[in-house]
Structure formats: structure tokens, C-alpha cells
Amino acid sequence: MLIVFIFFGIITISSLITPIKNGRIKEIAIICALISIGLYYGIRFAQGEPAWSPLNSLEEWMINSTPFNYNA
């Protein structure tokens, strides 16, 4: 599994090469952001801990604090 992670990590980072060559700053920033978020989720997965996600948090809040759920 670690090999798969490393392999995919290398491919992901390699997608930075073309934007760096062409000096496309916006693309570099977006790819770095995607990699960082991916790393966060990867680490949380490795730790066996839950990770924050916007829609899940919204659903959790709805199920606990609002009448907008069929469990209420």
C-alpha cells in the first residue's frame, strides 16, 4: 500500500512540471493546494482518524441540530 501511495505521489507531483516550465502560477498554486489537502486526508487515514469535510460537517450539523432530517 505504501508503494502505491509513493507511486501515485510521484505522479501527482510530476504534474507540476509543465506549469512550472511555462510559468503558470495559478495552476502551480492550485496543484499545490490539491496536494496539501490530499496529504491531510492521507495522514488522517494513516492515523485512523476522521477528517474534516464541508458537506459531511453540514450533514452532521443538520442531523443533530435542525429539523431538516427524517430522523427528527
Say if residue 28 is exposed, middle or buried (CB neighbours under 10 Å; 0-12, 13-18, 19+). Answer: middle
- HSE of 7, CA atoms in CB hemisphere, 13 A: 4
For residues 13 to 52, the per-residue mask of contacts with other proteins, x marking binding by CB under 8 A and - elsewhere, is -xxx-xx----x-xx--xx--xx-xx--xx-xx----xx-
Q: How far is the CB of 58 from other proteins (least distance, A)?
A: 6
Contact 40, 51 (CB under 8 A): yes
Q: Does 11 bind other proteins (CB under 8 A)?
A: yes
For residue 41, what is its C-alpha cell? 486526508
Binding positions for other proteins, rule: CB under 8 A: 1, 4-5, 8-9, 11-12, 14-16, 18-19, 24, 26-27, 30-31, 34-35, 37-38, 41-42, 44-45, 50-51, 53-56, 58-59, 62-63, 68-71
